[in-house]
Amino acid sequence: MNPRHPTDRPEAGGRCEPPAGPAPSLVATPARDPAVPRQVQGGEATALAAAGHGRRTGPPAPGGDPLQDPDPAAAADAAAAGNLLRCWVRERGVGRPDGPALRIPLPSSGMALSVPVRYWSATGGHLFGTPRLDPGGPESPQADAVTLAVLFARESAHGAGPGAVTDLVGRVADSVRRTAGFLAARRAAPAPVPGADLFLGAEQDLVLGHPLHPAPKSREGVTGHEARRYSPELRGGFPLHWFAVDRSVLAADSAWTEQGRVVPAGRLAARLAGEGIAVPRGAVPLPLHPWQAREAVHRPSVARLLAAGLLHDLGEHGPPWHPTSSVRTVLRPGAPAMLKLSLGLSITNSRRENLRKEMHRGVEVHRLLRAGLGRRWREAFSDGPPFDIVRDAAWLGVDDTEGEPVPGLDTLVRHNPFGPRDDVCCVASLTSPRPWPGDPSGALRSRLAHVIGDLAGRTGRPVPAVAAEWFLRYLRTVVRPVLRLDGVAGIALEAHQQNTLVRLDAEGWPAGGWYRDNQGFYFREAHRDALLARLPGLGRDSGTFVEDAVADERLVYYLGINNVLGLIGAFGSQHLADEELLLAALRRFLTDEARPADGRNSSSLPGLLLGSPTLRCKANLLTRVCGLDELVGPVDGQSVYVTIANPLVTS
């Protein structure tokens, strides 16, 4: 990697200032002729992997892996410290050290850190040992995750206000504490219940969370006794809390069809409620998260509707629903729908209450795809496995007596296309380490490592060869359809690893995929007329059209950096494949995708990734220090973005 690269200032709306530097142009430059190794040009995954067999991207690991500490609290702290260090390295443009340790100067605190480097990744998936205060010898004090949060927040909180350090430190401490509990529970019972729903099991396996977020498991506001019910990592479950909404204040829309007829959202909700719930005449049942219902009744707008008899609190009812990886989206095995519930908790970078514009967006995307766009899109990747968008086909919520939305009471009804034995998992869950069933040591291993190891064992092929082929199949199965939707329709997807689902066949190879999330659609302004011709009024209530530069920036980060480069980093850091050779394979794939074929318009992403020496990247540490909420304000100012070196060009 380029040893140094600049960072730049946050988007409009940010309240703190990372070190200044030039922002790269988002205009696609012509793709360079990449230096692709001969074995990649031949397209043979086995030859690709064999060329890198035994290579290491980083120095030998000094000492044991702190993530495998038998003490769950120590392992949780090591995971959090690693996240903070990866964030710091990425957001500050720190280059690879010359020796086995990384030195991090901290001028605002008048000290420095010495951090053993266990693995240095070309794509940001570094592994570190225990950091110590300089000079870093065995007698130097260790720096735990909370200490790192204090030190890094002090260095980053330029203009962010006096609460920036306190807020970050509190979230990091909360995340570490919860992660320790999750690890302890999973080490005690790592295996799922026999016969459990495979998709739900995968959703509940994201034990450590986003590896480049400072506090991925922070959920301030959930008390200890509630955690077991509401935490996917603890395989929680709970009955829904139901309100009844008088039709005079009901807000709803539905594009859910059965046998060619639209099913109203209220009827869908009544079906999900089942028998035995007493809904007053002229009212419709509304499902809520129990935590949200408890909090919402104290809001003045909700209290007024309850007092007026326009809203009725029916309490908890029905069989348990189970939280998926997002915490607030819930699933009941066998039900035809999942529910995306409002939940006023701050999780990662936002308070997770549904916004009305997102409800409109989910339904209009479903209508747009049914209006012929879905067929045209599928034709653009008809030579590959099936890929689709999980449809957010209906929603219902509450307006006040003046017709204004009542915040926090909107619920989304999402298709559940997965049967109980469908082996479908989000990429984040696939790559995240977790306690593995049958391992008495409680060691953490990812499903990805298990799949690749199992395939290698059954086929007799080297692990790197299998990993390389798996990655190439993933590009064709999952990445290509996302690029084709952008090229065909000008719709960019926020396809980060948690929003991207991959189906595994009986052997473990990628065999299909889905995108999910009504928040993450970007309609390009350049395609406005064509999209409006398919669905008049599109974007009027959802605010989904954005300038091409914004769509490019989001596509580069979510699909390019978070998803694909993050997957390469997981392969490398878990010693499954050589990162440089996977980057070479990615270059070839992107070069092919950048060439229009059969009248197909190509996405701008391949050209950006192949030709730009720097890329725009979301900075989760700075976003948290700045106190930004990704669901608040204009789309181009909801997060801090920085400029990082592009490993496809500089590696």
**How do residues 580-592 score in pLDDT, each as one tens digit?**
999 999 999 999 9
Q: What is the pLDDT of residues 258-290, one digit of tens each?
A: 999 999 999 999 999 999 999 999 999 999 999
Model pLDDT, residue 134: 86
Cα angle for residues 566, 568, 571 (degrees, 5° grid): 115
Check if the beta carbon of residue 502 is closer than 8 Å to that of residue 478.
yes
Please provide the average confidence, as pLDDT, over all residues in the chain: 88
Mean pLDDT in residue range 208-223 = 94
Tokens of 631: 């669901």
Structure tokens at 322: 């189970």
CA distance 115 to 135: 10
| Residue length of the chain | 651
> Hey, which residues does 395 pair with through a beta bridge?
253, 412
Q: In which band, very low, low, confident or very high, does the pLDDT at 300 lie, cut at 50, 70 and 90? A: very high
Per residue in 495-554, pLDDT tens? 999 999 999 999 999 999 999 999 999 999 999 999 999 999 999 999 999 999 999 999
The CATH number for 42-55+422-602, chosen from 1.10.10.10, 1.10.510.40, 1.25.60.10, 3.40.50.300, is: 1.10.510.40
Distance (Å, rounded) from C-alpha 313 to C-alpha 308?
12
Helix or strand holding residue 272 (H, E): helix 265-273
| CA 532, chain centre distance (Å) | 29
Of residues 642 and 34, the one with the higher pLDDT is 642
C-alpha 455/C-alpha 507 separation (Å) is 7
- What is the C-alpha radius of gyration for the chain, rounded to an integer number of angstroms? 24
Mean pLDDT, rounded, for 389-394: 98
- For residue 17, what is the DSSP state? -
% of the chain with per-residue pLDDT over 70: 87
- Burial of 298: CB neighbours in 10 Å, binned 0-12, 13-18, 19+: exposed
3-state secondary structure of 211: coil
What six digits make up the tokens of 197? 């729903």
DSSP 373: I
Report pLDDT digits (tens) over 436-454.
988 877 789 999 999 999 9
Helix, coil or strand: residue 317: strand
Paired residues of 246 in beta bridges: 283
CA distances from 242 to 75, 123, 227, 432 (A): 39, 46, 20, 34
Which parts of 375-428 are beta strand (E)?
Answer: 387-389, 394-398, 411-415, 424-426
The confidence score (pLDDT) of residue 429 equals 97
Q: State if pTM tops 0.85.
A: yes
* pLDDT, tens only, 226-239: 999 999 999 999 99
Cα 71 to Cα 38, 183, 500, 516, distances in angstroms: 46, 9, 32, 36
> Reduced to 3 DSSP states, what percent helix, strand and coil does the chain have, rounded to the nearest 5?
40, 20, 40
User: Where are the chain's structural domains?
Assistant: 42-55+422-602, 224-415
Q: Is pLDDT at 201 greater than 60 in this prediction?
A: yes
**Distance from C-alpha of 436 to C-alpha of 450, rounded to nearest angstrom:** 9
Burial (Cβ within 10 Å: 0-12, 13-18, ≥19) of residue 93: buried
pLDDT, position 1? 33
Is pLDDT of 555 > 60?
A: yes
Task: Over range 92-119, report the average pLDDT.
Answer: 95
